[in-house]
Amino acid sequence: MPELPPLDHVRYLKEVLDLARQGQAAGSAPVGALLVDARGEVLVRGHNRVGQPQTPGRVGGASVAHAEMDVFFQVGHLEDPGSLTLYSSLEPCLMCGGASALLGIGRVVWATADPWGGSGRLLRWEDHPAMQQTHVVPIPDPELEREGARLFAPEARRAFPEEGWALWRARYPQETEGL
């Protein structure tokens, strides 16, 4: 696995949490994502658009319109994907994690674990054959993890079955209290 330059994970995770709030305000689940190059420049920003209509410039209105997929559809062909970092407010699902691997993204970083819908529940990231060339950095900042959990918890309560909600309550008892 090639060594990627260090980036300020906290800076980008704060931004994806802001993008998650934008998605929520637009009627979708609160998940945000962005793609950053090796110099630290943001190439593209996105958020969940499942609850928004499709437009000529944006995937939307479909179950695949997750924040990470919004980023990937916007950016198009990648010249050097191994030098890029994908930041997400929530641990990517199997679809988004798989897309990251298939595209050859060099690093994936997320603020908050998703104990129900995250790819790691079904297959540990480091065990996924396609993810062997991807450096995975889960939850580099505990405060941002809690912020992301508080933001997504109402969506988890609404969208996940009882088994999923139970996993969320077990992982994030304070953030899910009273929901």
CB-hemisphere CA count at 13 Å for 90? 32
Which active-site residues does the annotation give? Answer: 68
130 is a domain residue = yes
CB 109 within 8 A of CB 84: no
4 is a domain residue = no
For the chain, the domain total comes to: 1
177 is a domain residue = no
18 is a domain residue = yes
178 is a domain residue = no
Q: Which residues are paired to 135 by β-bridges?
A: 107
pLDDT at position 65, please?
A: 87
Residue type for position 44: V
For 94-114, what is each residue's pLDDT tens digit?
899 989 988 999 999 999 999
For 127-179, what is each residue's pLDDT tens digit?
777 777 888 899 999 999 999 999 999 999 999 999 999 999 999 999 999 99
Average pLDDT, the chain: 91
Burial of 25 (0-12, 13-18, 19+ CB in 10 A): exposed
55 is a domain residue = yes
134 is a domain residue = yes
**Nearest of 149, 159, 147 to residue 113 by alpha carbon:** 149
Read off the CATH number of the domain in which 86 is found: 3.40.140.10
pLDDT at position 25, please?
A: 95
74 is a domain residue = yes
Question: Is the per-residue pLDDT at 57 higher than 80?
Answer: no
Give alpha helix (H) positions in the chain: 9-25, 67-75, 94-103, 119-122, 142-159, 162-171, 173-176
For 14-53, what is each residue's pLDDT tens digit?
999 999 999 999 999 999 999 999 999 999 999 999 888 7
What is the residue range of 92's domain? Answer: 9-171
Distance CA 107, CA 11 (A): 16
